[in-house]
Amino acid sequence: MGRYLHLQMLAARLIDRIIEFGHLVVIDARGVRHDFKRTDKPKVVVKLHDTSLHWKIALYPTMVVGDAYTNGSLTIEEGTLRDLLVIALKSMAAAERSPFNRRLNALKNWFYRREVVNKIGRAEVNVKHHYDLSAELYSLFLDPDRQYSCAYFRTPDDDLALAQLQKKQHLAAKLDLKPGQKVLDIGCGWGGLALYLAKTFGVRVTGLTLSQEQYDIAVRRSRAEGLTKLVEFKLLDYRQERGVYDRIVSVGMFEHVGEPHFREFFKQLSKLLQDDGFAVIHTIGKQCLPSPISVWIRRYIFPGAYLPTLSQLAPIFEDEDLWLTDFENLRLHYAETLKAWDVNFQNNRERVAEIYDEEFCRMWEFYLQSCEMGFRHSGLTVFQLQLAKQIDVVPMTREYMFEMEQELRDDVRSISEPTKIPAE
């Protein structure tokens, strides 16, 4: 009994130190109620159904809460998961600013570095873990074009499909494409962006992916659209590509490179790029000191993932003689994207449970909602980086981007329905 009380008090003390926002009530597995109140709202009441959580939460809260919610040993009796995550992530963000936690994060970053060593072969295993899930799963929460990256919301009322189209237009405008140019899409997903660029600009696109599911669907879409002469998809690691391109685009792939391979990525990008070409890299980043991503996300959702900071990238650009010719920070656009994905997921939850099970549903909603709150409260953001090998290959002002984006919004051809995914 004494051991139980000691561990119970340890967890309670830890939670009391962490909580900086909201009103959290924890009912432990013995029915004892613990009240942690800083502000009136949001209020969340959680119940623990396993006494081992009393000490596990004290030792490893960032891992254990996600596990417990997924397996059902932690349930929410009042409030919502989103409310719980707001309390947790806003409180943790405040704690991260302390000198002790800054030093601790630096130590964690060094320690976890070996877990994001994504050599050829290992990178493929990591990709298959997430992207080779049921093809139907992604159709249940993504837009019809299966854009699985940050959308671009011009207004708060934009629906997901429109916002994803606007993302493609936004990227295309930054690429300043001309008919006949060769474009490399590193991490092409299900082929939506590659097909859009080929149809809209008459460019020749090579798309690279490590996911068999994505590759198969992208190839079928290209054939159905009659674009096989303009678009080629390869099941290939970007480090094994040997072509040379006028433009390179990479959307939502750099997160999977791993910090030990950042320099390798940009060296290869430079080799693949014509001297008068340039690239646009769209990646999740962090507006804070370098640190590893959530261990729960890394273990269950994106193994091998690592999010860059500008302080990590800028020295590489300088060393590799790459000009950062344009930079944009999309900030809250991904939060809105994840919110839309979660709405779609919840609307199709019964079907997801039929494909997998209820535990998978809880894991997936924890993933979507915790990431959304990460973009709202924990320094996650999205960088769009335009990089060139020469100083003068990009126009001197940004007018070309604005003009092209307006033209694309006005052009019926660029806003047509995305290529439908044919049956196998």
User: Per-residue DSSP letters for 379-412?
Assistant: SEEEEEEEEESSTTSS-SSTHHHHHHHHHHHH-G
Phi, psi of 45 (to 5 degrees): -115, 120
Unique residue bearing structure tokens 């690279």: 208
| Residues 232, 309: Cα–Cα separation, whole Å | 32
Q: What residues act catalytically?
A: 371
Phi and psi angles of residue 131, each rounded to the nearest 5 degrees, phi first: -90, -10
User: How open is the CA angle 421-419-241, to the nearest 5 degrees?
Assistant: 85
Is residue 281 within 8 Å of residue 253, measured between CB atoms?
Answer: no
Closest CA to 224 of 424, 21, 11, 23: 424
For residues 16 and 66, give the distance between their C-alpha atoms in angstroms, rounded to a whole number: 19
Torsional sign, CA 330, 334, 339, 345 = positive
